Structure 1
Amino acid sequence: MVGITINEVNIKNPRELQEIKGFLKDFSLTLDKDIDYTLSITEDGRLIATCSKEKNILKSFAILPEYQGEGLAAVMVTRIMDKLLEEGHETFFVFTKPCNKNIFISLGFSTLYEGKDAVLLENGLTGIEDYLKKIIKSNNIDTLKSRAAIVMNCNPFTLGHRFLIEKAAEENEEVIIFLVEEDKSFFPFNIRYTMLKEGTKDIPGVKLISGGKYIISSATFPNYFIKEENQRLRAYAEIDAGVFYRYIAKALNIKKRYVGEEPYCNITSQYNEALKAMAKEYEVELIEVPRRTMGQKAISASSVRGYLASGDIEKAFILLPATSAIFLKSPEGIELIEKLKRSHET
């Protein structure tokens, strides 16, 4: 097409970014704050299409109606996938409305899970079957043996987390703990992994596995096409639970999943409800365990972060296993506490 130009948008330029936001607004879409790469297509200077990404997730995809069916979708998606390959990503994802599913299927994506309000598709050099084979091999998992599982974030690892793991370990020969890998928590993944590993090494039958790309963090689930918070939470919970049950639980012969009761966090509460609703369909027993309390209050990682941020170190340490407290007394831990205090002050 004459006059068509594909452009890399300077996302640090407020004027260029505002033009993309304004364009998306006409489609009732937004631009997620964590996008790291954006393309635009213009015709004689007029913006007619855009697509963005955050790490390996394609986002904020829009084309003017009169230009749809002209091959612009393939141009943008191919260009972004080339960028992802350059960055070393082997798997790419798209969260989108179900009505847009066929656009991405025509571009080589396959549907992982379709819910009422959102669908998750993947493409790339590797997929979920490769992920599961790698887990089974690297962790020496006997897939003929049934087991239990827990998904955790551990931001940081508390006595409440340990209580849930101990409960599962008492009732099952083997328990796999999937630690959410997405680094959108205050404590980085490598630190959360170390605290969890050190804090559970005395509990028999526990295997710790990085969650990888398929344990979906609520922080990763995009906002751009679902604005209403409760609807977005339901969509996230349905997709993440669906992927877990349909693929992970089936491949690893997981027959029980343990969760802690959630009196405080709306996201986790809705997630637990989605897990309950879908568990029977996939022949997995969902076990909701009452939270461990200290005094009359349930132990939570958010309370620990709050105490650390306000300087109440001793109150925080009461809620932590000795292994977590030891880390927080280390130079790296002290540096993180100071960072948390500064963020609290601002």
Structure 2
Amino acid sequence: MMKKLYIWLACLGVLCLAACDSGSKEEAPASSAKTEQAQPAPAAEASVVADAGSAPQELGPPPTKEQLDAADALVAFYNTAASTLANPYYTQADVMMGNVRYYLHEWMLAPRPDGGDGKPLAARLAAPKGMFSEDESRAMAQWVEDMRQSLDSMRADYRSLERYVKDQSIRDDGVKGKTLAANIEKTYDRFSAARSGYMGTVEARAASVEEVLLYGHPLKRQILEARKVFGLFSRTAGLLTAQKPDREALEQVKTRLEASLADAGRPPFPASPDVERTYREFLKQAAEFKEALAKGLDEGFYNPVREELNNAAVGSRQAYNVFVREANPE
């Protein structure tokens, strides 16, 4: 039986935000940091070569065509939502917040990022009819509106901060600048809460169909562990947006990441050597993220470390997409 491989897209924030309390003079404004743009992976039929008896033992009957179609639609919407929230229109919030934190540290403000038109993107985030409950759909619509309002407010305050920084005649020891920065951070918290609420709802519903999509798949363990890894990347990104990242929470992320990578890498790997090679490359890239995370916990999350994290996250995503393409030849 031919099976589908899929990738759960994680809406990652900017990992390379300038740290306010780092004291490093080598940091660059956060606007120069690279942002991962999550892209949907191909959804073609897989050609995994399964060894006899390698398929996982499943409880219950296989899913019906109707269940598979519904699950496919849900995952497709999840991927659409995640890639939409990775659009620069939405990630400008992370960039502006990073720039403001750098400003409070160095008193230099990077130019405001381009905003673009968010209306077409908001339409893509609308809950498909019948996929979510009425309460969930209303909450999702409100979160999308909260994100729009928050972005408008952040951009307005950012413009005011730009004018303030450029006006050399003002002598107030940075009082107004600090006030505007505090307003932006408060609004950013609202934006982040709305984004987390929205994606949390979509992810919870998508996760509920995992067993349907992966029923009897020989690479079920590897695929589920990869999803956990990307989720931990996203968790790291969220924790690093705080001015003082939660060290205990980051330690927990590192421990969970080590466990997922170990479980994902253990044999057997019931697929062709070419498919396994691409998956091992994904694990190698993900291990670099783990090493950068450990380095940050030991030495501090200065911008060079955050850049390493970001590069490893991007590399892992690209490597996993290669794995999906190798396992799902056209």
Answer whether TM exceeds 0.5 for this pair. Answer: no
TM-score normalised to structure 1 length: 0.23
Which one has the bigger helix percentage?
A: 2
Higher relative contact order (CA 8 A, sep 6+): 2
TM-score normalised to structure 2 length: 0.23
